[in-house]
Amino acid sequence: MRDTHGSHLSGAPPRTGAPVDPSPPRLARFGALTRLLWPVRLHLLGCAVLSAAGAVAGLAPYVAVAEIARVVLRAEDTTGTADTVGSWVGVGVAGACARLVLVFLSSRLGHYADAETLHAIRVRIVRHLGVLPLGWFRASGSAAVKKVMTQDLEEMHQLIAHALGEVVGAATAIAAAFVYLVVVDWRLALVAVAVLLLMAASFKIAMRSAGMHIARLLAAEGRISAASVEYADGITVVKTFGAGGTILARFDAAVREYTEAMRAWVTETQVSSAAARLLGSEMTVFGVMMIAGMWSVSSGRLTTADLLPFLVVGIGLPTSIVPAIHGAQGLRKGRVSAGHIEALLARAGFEAPAHPQLPRGARVEFDRVTFAYDGVTPAVVEISATCEPGTVTALVGPSGAGKSTLASLLPRFYDVTAGAIRIGGADVRAIPATALLSSLALVFQDVVLLRDTVAENIRLGRMTATDEEVRAAARAAQIDGVIQRLPRGYDTMLGEDGGGLSGGERQRLTIARAIVSGAPIVVLDEATAALDADSEAAVQDALAELIAGKTVIVIAHRLHTIAGADQILVLDAGRLVEAGEHRELLAQGGLYARMWRAQHGGALV
């Protein structure tokens, strides 16, 4: 994987192409959830079996109470009654203890399967993100990845660790209780089941559009997340210019959409869901059982002793329905989240080259390069140029001319639409990712530092670098003295804000990272544009160490910084309009000369 701002993020080789789905081909006809859970199917089966056994064991105490009552009420004398009651007491106690053990084991197995699955999914996602083109991240934003890595994986956790066990346990408890009640009296058992069926019908009506509503709610949550990330990322601009109104308006619109989606769902289901809750109430079942039971007792169809199991076990049936409902909802959300996860993993990345080539040298060639972000409107058009080893090539032009776009094609942040880019005679699309990235050092204006020590932030350029090599790179980048003054020197922890380092110091730290990489090709994208004069001078000294003997491509707006370049490529509207050395371009009196006069008050020197 690679830092898009100019350094290797790990020593492990990034994978190319889409990740391999470990599910066997015969699962292709099944849904995303089945494919994601296939590797832990045996663990989930064990969890389901233990959960079912725990549900049966949990029913034992209630059956024991009902049977003890039946024994006592039926006994005409007390002979043998005590032994029978004692046996049922033992059954109840054993069932309660067995339930605790079985539920514990089921939960343990479910959480193990959850940890295994989520670990595998996270690894696959992170590896796949490493092969997706940078354009996808810019188009979709960090919120899309954040949603999958947090919200969708949380739904998967709830499904695997909790919902599956709850559904199986609840279904088993209902089935076991029904069998017991049928043995006691099948007619009254049907009455109890009729109440539950009416409740289930009401719930089904209430949930008939659940998929649509859940999808709408999740989409609204995604927009809320995106607006929140946008606000947090742009907080400096918001506070400086008071521009929070626009961002907050988007956030407010996303919240209103979520509210409206929830209101629509509640309005649609308010009657049916109320009926389901009423029919699923223990008091409703108790009332129905009492009325039907007393009528059966008065008509001689049922004894008082046989009514008790329905009042003890029957009224407990709704308590098993609630976990089943929650589990079903978790299953439904899990299916949606699994679809989102699989959609991300299925997104096409850069494929591994069929016939890999290795660069021979550091010569860079742009051969009639054309690229369009949307595949239609070109950002750069048929640009051809050669950058020789040991030379500096500058890319200049107005904003939006295509300078950064052209540079971003070199490390394959995007792939060319037409033409080719070659390094050392090999097409970059045919160079394995590790070889390509190890040949490039990128230093951009925007600096990215990881939440790690100073030494590790530098060592990202080459993970095998020794401590002495890290310090040597820091000295070459004119940053060693600054690091020595930090509280813990090279062991000082940094964050995304640089841990108190100035902009120039942070930039020199990334240059040290590029130096330690030893890459023969260096790309500098406005590396000094945001710095003051003193910081710029220090960074320029560091860059002189970095670019010595390398193939260097520089993107610049301040033309005096590249006046000594070996060749200057002038871009305008995505096309190469001028090329040559500084004095040649001034003599031509074209776009470069006009830009120079604009920056230097008309002086042509």
Whether the predicted pLDDT of 496 surpasses 60 = no
Whether the predicted pLDDT of 545 surpasses 90 = no
CB 441 within 8 A of CB 523: yes
What confidence score (pLDDT) does residue 101 get?
A: 96
CB 56 within 8 A of CB 172: yes
What is the spatial distance between Cα 501 and Cα 470, in angstroms, rounded to a whole number?
18
What is the spatial distance between Cα 108 and Cα 86, in angstroms, rounded to a whole number?
33
Fold of 2-10+28-346: ABC transporter transmembrane region fold (1.20.1560)
Of the candidate ranges 299-313, 341-355, 527-541, the one whose mean pLDDT is the lowest: 527-541
In tens, the pLDDT along 441-484 reads 888 777 778 888 899 999 988 888 999 999 988 888 888 888 88
In tens, the pLDDT along 14-44 reads 333 333 444 444 554 568 888 888 999 999 9
Fold of 364-599: Rossmann fold (3.40.50)
Going by C-alpha positions, the residue among 84, 161, 61 that lies closest to residue 117 is 161
Whether the predicted pLDDT of 70 surpasses 80 = yes
CB 188 within 8 A of CB 289: yes
Which sign does the torsion angle of CA 417, 419, 421, 425 carry?
positive
- Residue 482 identity: V
For residue 571, what pLDDT band results from cuts at 50, 70 and 90? very high
CB 594 within 8 A of CB 406: no
CB 188 within 8 A of CB 364: no
The 8-class DSSP code of residue 493 comes to B
Residue 367 or 321, more confident: 367
* End-to-end CA gap in the chain: 44
The string of DSSP codes covering 545-593 is HHHTTSEEEEE-SSGGGGTT-SEEEEEETTEEEEEE-HHHHHHHTSHHH
What is the spatial distance between Cα 415 and Cα 109, in angstroms, rounded to a whole number?
45
Q: Model-level pTM?
A: 0.64
The maximal CA–CA distance of the chain, rounded, in angstroms, is: 123
Structure tokens at 486: 């930090």
Going by C-alpha positions, the residue among 508, 447, 504, 500 that lies closest to residue 480 is 508
Domain residue limits, the chain: 2-10+28-346, 364-599
CA distances from 470 to 412, 519, 542 (A): 27, 15, 14
CA distances from 149 to 31, 73, 345 (A): 20, 60, 12
Structure tokens at 365: 């060639």
Tokens 């999808």 correspond to: 215
**What percent of the chain lies above the pLDDT cut of 90?**
25
Mean pLDDT of 301-323: 83
Whether the predicted pLDDT of 405 surpasses 60 = yes
Going by C-alpha positions, the residue among 361, 357, 358 that lies closest to residue 424 is 361
- Residue 566 identity: D
Whether the predicted pLDDT of 274 surpasses 60 = yes
The length of the chain is 605
What's the half-sphere exposure (Cβ side, CA atoms, 13 Å) at 394? 24
For residue 508, what pLDDT band results from cuts at 50, 70 and 90? confident
